[in-house]
Amino acid sequence: MTKKKENKEEKITRTVARTEDKTVQITFTIPAQIIAQNEEHILKELGQNLEVPGFRKGKAPIAKVKENVKPEKIIEEILTHIVLPALREALQEENIKPVIYPRFELLSAKEGENWQVRVTTCEMPEVKLGNYKEEIRKELKTTEIWTPDKKGGDGQKPTQEEKEQKVIEALMKIIKVDVPTLLVEEEVNHRLSQLLERIEKLGLSLEKYLESTGKTAESLREEYENQTKQSLALELILNKIALDEKLEVDKKELDEVLKMSASLNSQDGQENSQEQREAIKNILLRRKALEFLTSLL
């Protein structure tokens, strides 16, 4: 009696690599069998609305459909059908919480062979505050601005803005946050895009702007990267302080700020999205965290 040969179903495999700055790389290996099955299904779908010479619309054989569809389109559709579900599963099983939209890189896609796809994203870095209150007090002891019975060096009491600036400087010195490179890049690209929009509204080209500021494209990007690293690190630190100190923003306060924001942007009557509400709520929480810190000193 001969044993029947079982067809072992091949599965997508993955490897996960994490770096110290919370960057995560997931490399998927997709068996050729799965690629072929999905390709056939996708070509059938694409063929339904494809007009191929010599055939009625939607009636062309798969081989002819493949000849008349760009290879890039087929690859894109295959990856959408296969990688996105595999990624969702990986994020859940590996307990990965991405803070930016993942970047996809096709490493290999030869016909008849296994494909490899690399997905890169990053998680929120851990912020260790330590005994930050005491450390800030120590750091600012040498600064006259914090001596209760003295005035500032110019004989004037320090303003709230001056106090906050000193607190920020102390925070950045005593608390180190390793901001993910991908998160910095994402924010830098966003800020540079906003800058370009403002420049274009002024009727200037980027070249003219760079010439007028005495900067190159490289030095401008480097400047933005440094600023972004600092601002993101500060945001993360203040977010953590607000969380640890259980600071809250009440609904009335949030609604007032949202109403003012809508008025300034000529959006009266338009409802704010949940995303907008959360963004402004986080800004207010960071403001409260800063006020909390200055009140300690």
CATH number reported for the structural domain that contains residue 98 in this entry:
3.30.70.1050
pLDDT value of position 107:
95
The domain tally of the chain equals 2
Is residue 244, in this structure, part of any structural domain at all?
Answer: no
pLDDT value of position 59:
79
Is residue 36, in this structure, part of any structural domain at all?
Answer: yes
- 40 with 62: CB under 8 angstroms? yes
Is residue 29, in this structure, part of any structural domain at all?
Answer: yes
Residues 6 or more apart whose CB falls under 8 angstroms from that of 38 comprise 78, 81, 82
Rounded Cα gap, residues 209 and 106, in angstroms: 37
Is residue 100, in this structure, part of any structural domain at all?
Answer: yes
Q: Which residues of the chain have pLDDT under 70?
A: 1-9, 142-155, 262-272
Rounded Cα gap, residues 180 and 232, in angstroms: 10
Is residue 296, in this structure, part of any structural domain at all?
Answer: no
Residues 6 or more apart whose CB falls under 8 angstroms from that of 143 comprise 166
pLDDT value of position 2:
47
pLDDT value of position 150:
52
Domain with 191, as residue range(s), is 177-233
Same domain, 188 and 114: no
**SS3 of 223, please?**
helix
Displacement of CA 164 from its chain's centroid (Å): 27
Rounded Cα gap, residues 245 and 190, in angstroms: 31
Of 195, 215, 233, the domain-final residue: 233
pLDDT value of position 223:
96
